[in-house]
Structure 1
Amino acid sequence: MANCSTDVCSYKRAWALDTRIRNYIHDPYKIFGDYIKEGQTALDLGCGPGFFSLAMAEMVGEKGRVISVDIQEEMLQMLRDKSERAGLKSRIIPHKSQPDKIGISEMVDFALAFYMVHEVPDKKNFLSEVVSYLKPDGKLLIVEPKFHVSKPDFDSTLKVAQSAGLKQISEPKVLFSRAALLIKA
């Protein structure tokens, strides 16, 4: 069985991804509020139960949308339920991806890969696919947990990102995390 430290974080542990403490530690508005504007299309990769998707949906406003991607239907169902209760269902497009392919058709202004790139078996294909979805001025924010991803491992991911056509433009500060904001090279 997968857990949140190996393989893919199981839907059975979703409660750990969506707590008040996490909202304080990983406040979406502080982490990526400057990168998402009203009317944009955002992509939440490995969205889980929707912790970040709901905040992104508020940020993009009524004319924007959030494509929330996960490989587990159970996570997407949790997101659907939460977005319905929050009145944000019309802004969020849940998308079940395959383990080796995201498979969306939209172009996005902002993509978030929060605590999930280390779970991806083929980072080069994954990041190349993400690049193909970014609009010319689109941004990708990769955030990985310091307790699980070492500095050399994170640097290796950034090298793969570079080979996939991305360029790092900043290193945002995210508590307990390693982070990089990237654009198309």
Structure 2
Amino acid sequence: MKKKEEIRGFIRKNYKAVALKGADGGCGCGDGCCGTGPVDIQGTSASLGYDEKDLAQIPGGANMGLGCGNPVAIAGLKEGETVLDLGSGGGMDCFLARSRVGEAGHVIGVDMTPEMLELARKNAEESGFANVEFRLGEIEHLPVADASVDVVISNCVINLALDKAQVFKDAYRVLKAGGRLSVSDVVATAPLPEEVQRSLEMVAGCIGGAAYVEEIRHMLEAAGFVDIRLTPKDNSRQILESWVPGHGVEEYVASFMIEARKEG
């Protein structure tokens, strides 16, 4: 337990720093998503799958160049739906989801870092988004009622969770019958070097805590999900190589789009 709390505390501390840094960008282990240079926010977002129309719809302070894909793009959101974002950060994907579900819809973001919540709430208030809310909590134990949301999204956050199976179980709990899971995340495709698994920086940087692809599938099945699809992003190698240039992390982790459905 002490080790888990140490890891969780390190992750929270790092993303606090990211939140305070704001739109200057960077991931949980340093400038440039584990690299050493400044972040090209627009270029990074484009490589993850966000187009100019997407980026024009969100408050400027919400885009910090984080993530490993665009879960909203595959979620098939409809007018009036309720959406839950696991690890919502500055609110970028929540604001995109809001533009899809409209005024009749509702979007909830959950994050364990108070500074991220403060930033996201500020972005929502300044933009006048009354149907977007942000709640403090851990994604393993969501502060959300049973069977209350239509779609669960997440962008490169579940790999940070210390109990990923519990994340999927709780996501299943809060989904309505027939609800959908649409996630972008980093997964392991080959054995991770021990030094990577032991490095708190690599864990906070969305690499050291990645689970194997088939482990993810088994966790989803055990939670009760059906119609499971795990699809690597076409430019996964380029995304991962840009995070830690010259370290070869793209040889054992990859960016995947993870989709599933709750029966009903």
Instruction: Give the equivalent residue in structure 2 for 1:10.
Output: 15
Instruction: Give the equivalent residue in structure 1 for 2:128.
Output: 87
What is the CA distance between 1:87 and its match in structure 2?
A: 2.8
Letter in 2 for 1:114: N
Report the more deviating stretch, 103-112 or 24-33: 24-33
- Structure 1 distance, partners of 2:92, 2:46, is 12
What is the CA distance between 1:85 and its match in structure 2?
A: 2.7
Instruction: Give the equivalent residue in structure 2 for 1:23.
Output: 45
User: Equivalent pairs: percent with the same residue?
Assistant: 22
CA contact (8 A) 1:168 1:180 kept: no
- Structure 1 distance, partners of 2:166, 2:230, is 23
CA contact (8 A) 2:149 2:176 kept: yes
Closer/same/farther in 2, CA of residues 157 and 61 from structure 1, 3 Å limit:
same
Describe how 1:122-141 pairs up with structure 2 within 5 A. Answer: 122-141=163-182
Closer/same/farther in 2, CA of residues 169 and 72 from structure 1, 3 Å limit:
same
CA contact (8 A) 1:35 1:110 kept: no
Q: SS at the partner of 2:183?
A: strand
Residue 161 of structure 1 pairs with residue 199 of structure 2: no
- Structure 2 distance, partners of 1:101, 1:180, is 20
Residue 97 of structure 1 pairs with residue 137 of structure 2: yes
What is the CA distance between 1:143 and its match in structure 2?
A: 1.6
Which of 40, 48, 72 does residue 32 from structure 1 map onto?
A: 72
Q: SS at the partner of 1:49?
A: coil
Bigger radius of gyration: 2
CA contact (8 A) 1:41 1:60 kept: yes
After TM superposition, the score normalised by the length of structure 1 is 0.83
After TM superposition, the score normalised by the length of structure 2 is 0.60
Decide which structure has greater strand share.
1
Letter in 2 for 1:121: L
What is the CA distance between 1:46 and its match in structure 2?
A: 0.3
Report the more deviating stretch, 27-36 or 132-141: 27-36
- Structure 2 distance, partners of 1:31, 1:71, is 20
Closer/same/farther in 2, CA of residues 170 and 161 from structure 1, 3 Å limit:
closer
What is the CA distance between 1:35 and its match in structure 2?
A: 1.4
Q: SS at the partner of 1:10?
A: helix
What is the CA distance between 1:40 and its match in structure 2?
A: 0.5
Q: How many residues align?
A: 179
Structure 1: where are the runs of 5+ without partners?
Answer: none
Closer/same/farther in 2, CA of residues 31 and 96 from structure 1, 3 Å limit:
closer
